Amino acid sequence: MVPSQIVGRLLAIAALAGATACGSANESMPVAASATSTPTASPPQVNILLQQALPNAEGKTFTSQIVDFPPGAAAPPHRHGQAFVYAYVLQGVVRSQVDDQPVTTYHQGENWFEQPGAHHVVAANPSTTERAKLLVVYVSDTGDPLQANDPHS
């Protein structure tokens, strides 16, 4: 199976998970804002849609979540451990920089991925008036945290 087929299947699974996830399984947690976010901006909110051990990939877990960026919100520099990460912009605009790649602005319907061990240097909503939302899909080592902030970067 080619990578685009894998991503397409992961998106279909995540969309189905979002449509069928029960309320008691959802978690909501803020992600600390970085120094680049405006003082009045709320940090991004993370809502887990589905978290499931993969039966055909021992030791791996599939997680899908919505990251909701209020206007002007930004996450601090962070890493996602050894997870493969796929992000799809559901709403608004998100600025992102991974490792030493250039900062890129992604609009609704655009996407990117992060290799295991990548350093997510910039994750921000540049709008001061509109929300931005991401669907984020992880394939991670079971039990590993999905995000570790790295504020000294």
Lowest mean pLDDT among 15-24, 63-72, 123-132: 15-24
Q: How far is CA 15 from CA 74, 90, 92, 132, in A?
A: 25, 11, 18, 18
3-state secondary structure the chain: CCHHHHHHHHHHHHHHHHHHCCHHHCEEEECCCCCCCCCCCCCCEEEEEEEEECCCCCCEEEEEEEEEECCCCEECCEECCCCEEEEEEEECEEEEEECCCCCEEEECCCEEEECCCCEEEEEECCCCCCCEEEEEEEEEECCCCCCEECCCC
Task: Note down the domain range covering 64.
Answer: 3-149
Q: What is the pLDDT of residues 49-78, one digit of tens each?
A: 999 999 999 999 999 999 999 999 999 999
- Determine the pLDDT at residue 99: 96
9: confidence class by pLDDT, cuts 50, 70, 90: low
CATH number of 84's domain: 2.60.120.10
Domain count, the chain: 1
The predicted model scores a pTM of 0.75
